[in-house]
């Protein structure tokens, strides 16, 4: 099995004809858009619906029918849902089969294809089942050309997170660096963080900023991941200000950045309830604390659930 130090992350043209000898997994939309077809192609449902154990089992069955062995390569061509699902199947099939991510969405390029997290949703919890499984990545920003405004905006939710984590990324965004340059910058930033802390023991936790409330909102409202993360950033920054962990002016500046680009949805008690199942919670089975990465040092901290309900007002 590859360690993160063995992973190759390259930027450049992903020539789909090069994958004729590989098993390619994508979704119907991508297959149509890029004319991907043939016996070596498997189609998952589009979007979050792909991320089920049933789909992983069906995909593994296809691997078995194709008599794949651990040295055969599987290409995950698509957005985050394709990458997460295929990554999980590759991790468990014969205890690991070679994986190449070719992300086609902005979210996948700057976040989900990098760092080896694989997952499916389970028991109405996002990413409850998963592994770390590192594959190579080719980031071809030409795919950005085919994304619509909604898909691009979705990626901007993750880019907003990087802007808050990294002053250089924020400066680059403010001086109008191109989306391609910003994408490469964010992907490189995430790669460096993951190389230092591949298994999310310390520093990598900061990449989960906005994700505790973001995931709860994504599940409840069925909104796109990046939009939910932007909302997560909004409410988690507000939470930090209320807890006296960051200045009110800092919080208002970044909340305004969210409002400029994204709809802000009301946070409900039902959404908050979902945070009790978050993977970052450290309180054990009976815990009533929720794990948050808040914009003050961006380290993981436990916040009593009772302190969250005021955010719903």
Task: State which of positions 149-208 bind ligand GLY (CB under 6 A).
Answer: 200, 204, 207-208
C-alpha count within 13 angstroms, C-beta hemisphere, residue 26:
26
Question: Least distance (Å) from ligand GLY to the CB of residue 162?
Answer: 11
Widest CA span in the chain: 59
- Of residues 24 and 230, the one with the C-beta less far from ligand GLY: 230
Question: Least distance (Å) from ligand GLY to the CB of residue 79?
Answer: 14
Q: Is 298 exposed, middle or buried (0-12, 13-18, 19+ CB in 10 A)?
A: middle
Among 79, 115, 135, 214, binds ligand GLY (CB under 6 A): 115
Among 27, 111, 218, 238, binds ligand GLY (CB under 6 A): 111
**From the CB of residue 76, how many other CB atoms can be counted at a distance below 10 Å?**
28
Nearest-angstrom CA–CA distance, 252 and 109: 29
Tell me: does residue 101 bind ligand GLY (CB under 6 A): no
Question: Least distance (Å) from ligand GLY to the CB of residue 204?
Answer: 5
Candidates 70-78, 110-118, 166-174, 215-223: pick the segment binding ligand GLY (CB under 6 A).
Answer: 110-118
Tell me: does residue 117 bind ligand GLY (CB under 6 A): yes
- Of residues 101 and 117, the one with the C-beta less far from ligand GLY: 117
**From the CB of residue 110, how many other CB atoms can be counted at a distance below 10 Å?**
28
Size of the site for ligand GLY (CB under 6 A): 7
Contact 231, 214 (CB under 8 A): yes
Contact 265, 213 (CB under 8 A): no
In the 8-state DSSP scheme, what is residue 265? P
Question: Least distance (Å) from ligand GLY to the CB of residue 207?
Answer: 4
For 238, the 3-state DSSP assignment is helix
Residues that bind ligand GLY (CB under 6 A): 111, 115, 117, 200, 204, 207-208
């Amino acid at each position: 099995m590859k360690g993160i130090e063995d992973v190759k992350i390259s930027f450049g043209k992903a020539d789909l004809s090069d994958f004729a000898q590989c098993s390619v997994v994508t979704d119907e939309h991508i297959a149509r858009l890029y004319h991907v077809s043939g016996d070596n192609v498997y189609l998952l449902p589009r979007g979050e619906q792909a991320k089920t154990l049933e789909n992983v089992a069906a995909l593994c069955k296809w691997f078995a029918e194709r008599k794949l062995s651990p040295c055969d390569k599987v290409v995950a061509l698509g957005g985050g849902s394709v990458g997460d699902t295929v990554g999980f199947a590759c991790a468990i099939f014969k205890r690991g089969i070679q994986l190449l991510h070719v992300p086609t969405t902005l979210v996948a390029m700057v976040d989900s294809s990098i760092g080896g997290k694989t997952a499916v949703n389970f028991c109405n919890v996002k990413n409850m089942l998963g592994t770390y499984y590192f594959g190579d990545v080719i980031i071809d920003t030409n795919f950005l050309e085919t994304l619509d405004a909604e898909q691009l905006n979705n990626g901007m939710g993750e880019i907003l997170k990087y802007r808050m984590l990294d002053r250089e990324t924020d400066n680059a965004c403010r001086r109008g660096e191109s989306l391609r340059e910003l994408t490469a910058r964010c992907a490189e930033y995430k790669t460096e963080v993951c190389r230092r802390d591949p298994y999310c023991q310390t520093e990598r936790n900061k990449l989960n900023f906005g994700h505790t409330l973001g995931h709860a909102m994504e599940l409840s409202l069925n909104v796109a991941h990046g939009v939910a993360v932007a909302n997560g950033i909004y409410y988690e920054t507000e939470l930090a200000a209320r807890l006296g962990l960051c200045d009110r002016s800092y919080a208002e500046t970044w909340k305004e950045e969210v409002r400029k680009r994204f709809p802000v949805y009301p946070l409900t008690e039902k959404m908050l309830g979902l945070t009790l199942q978050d993977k970052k919670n450290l309180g054990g089975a009976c815990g009533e604390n929720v794990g948050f990465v808040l914009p003050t040092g961006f380290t993981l901290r436990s916040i009593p659930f009772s302190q969250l309900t005021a955010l719903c007002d």
